Amino acid sequence: MGDVAVGARSGHDGEEHRGRPAESAVPAADSAVTPGSDSGAAEDDRVTGEYSTAEGEGPGGTARTPKKPRSFWKELPILIGIALVLALLIKTFLVQAFSIPSDSMQNTLQQGDRVLVDKLTPWFGSEPERGEVVVFHDPDNWLAGEPVADPNAFQTFLSWIGLMPSAEEKDLIKRVVGVGGDTVECKGTGPLTVNGKALDERSYVYAGNTPCSVDDQGGQFKVKVPEGSIWVMGDHRQNSRDSRYNQSDKHNGMVPVKDVVGRAIVIAWPVNRWDNLPVPDTFDQAGLNARSAAAGLTAAPQGLALLGVVPVVLWRRRKQ
């Protein structure tokens, strides 16, 4: 606060105080006075705020008067602009609201629910995991024939900045069942198996539905999920047009990871439906993650080779 004192001090200042006893210096609270500042001026600044100078008043022809505060109506557009920028940044990088348009995820999600989707973790390289509920862009015309909403301009704007659930009807929401490297299979009415392990889906599959659908349209299948893709299914198994019924598209029913918007983490609306969306326990069962074992076997020879090379390098360095 070296600039607290205003105006230049006169060269006669020392003469005015000559012969007078020096006043003891007392530190001001909250460091209001800093070295090199006039203590009186600092006290004035701490109490009354900023000052401007006006000629013709006070010693030396100058006086300090408080600046007029800016009008609220002048500051309002700035505040609105800052709020909009923050909302846009949050929607782009952190979380976004989505509205559930159908019954395909009952009873986990009901039509009309609003969910918040985590968009931050994918920026750090995180990929969808089995059991997560994810929002993704339509991979290849999955929504053909579905009714499309027609929001007005104001609703479109609010959706764009993230202050309203997304009005983009090209997004879908399903549960991840298989990830890259998994083998997913349905026989008869189920259970659904992943890498040969049966899933216990009673906690989230719609009551009265069977885990697998007995039909010749895609309900009976055995697929291997390629790397960089996921296999998704709705919790309302007999009322969900998911990966099973899109195997004739260009991705063979898979959803490219790059098309995933993010993971739905919480039901935000209505209030009586507030809840989080955890991964069901069945996806944590031992032996389900066949990819980890395969990765370990692949890495093992490399690790052994590294351990074998280290002693040789140390021996050569000793000789040198």
CATH at residue 152: 2.10.109.10
Active-site choice (104, 213, 229, 243): 104
| Nearest Cα residue to 281 out of 189, 200, 181, 175 | 200
Tell me, yes or no, whether 86 lies in a domain: no
Same domain, yes or no: 42 and 118? no
Angle at 143 between CA 149 and CA 254, to 5 degrees: 140
Chain-centre distance for alpha carbon 21: 65
Looking at residue 110, its pLDDT comes to 95
The answer on 208 and 156 residing in a single domain is yes
224 shares a domain with 172: yes
Q: What is the pLDDT of residue 87?
A: 62
Cis check for the bond before 311: say yes or no (omega within 30 of 0). Answer: no
As a whole number of angstroms, the distance between CA 133 and CA 263 comes to 6
Q: Which pLDDT score, from 0 to 100, does residue 18 have?
A: 43
pLDDT tens figures, 8-44: 344 444 444 444 444 444 333 332 333 333 444 333 3
| Residues 258 and 144 both lie in one domain | yes
The answer to whether residue 311 is domain-embedded is no
Q: What pLDDT sits at residue 84?
A: 67
Ranges of residues in the chain whose predicted pLDDT is under 70: 1-68, 83-84, 86-93, 122-123, 145-152, 154-169, 290-320
Q: Check whether residue 47 and residue 162 sit in a common domain.
A: no
| Same domain, residue pair 55 and 142 | no
* Mean pLDDT for all residues in the chain: 73
In the residue annotation, 104 being an active-site residue is answered as yes
> What pLDDT, on the 0 to 100 scale, is given for residue 30?
36
Q: Residue 124 has what pLDDT?
A: 72
Q: Which domain holds residue 26?
A: 18-66
Q: Residues 49, 136: one domain?
A: no
* 109 in the same domain as 61: no
Same structural domain for residues 287 and 192? yes
The predicted pLDDT at position 137 comes to 93
- Domain count of the chain? 2
Let me know whether 253 and 118 are in one domain.
yes
Transcribe 177-203 into DSSP letters.
EEETT-EEEE-TT---EETTEEP--TT
What local confidence, expressed as pLDDT, does residue 2 receive? 47
The answer to whether position 74 is within a domain reads no
Q: Please name which of 162, 159, 156, 152 lies closest in space to residue 85, comparing C-alpha atoms.
A: 162
**Rounded-to-integer distance, Cα 104 and Cα 146, Å:** 13
Residue 46 sits in the same domain as residue 176: no
Q: Is 120 inside any structural domain?
A: yes
The answer to whether residue 300 sits within a structural domain is no
Residues 6+ apart with CB under 8 A from 101: 111, 149, 169
- How many beta carbons lie within 10 A of that of residue 228, not counting itself? 12
Residue of 99, 166, 174, 213 marked active site: 174
Catalytic site includes residue 119: no
Residue 121 covered by a domain:
yes
Same domain, 259 and 134: yes
Q: Domain for residue 3, yes or no?
A: no
H-assigned helices in the chain? 13-17, 39-48, 72-93, 153-161, 290-319
Would residue 134 count as lying in a domain? yes
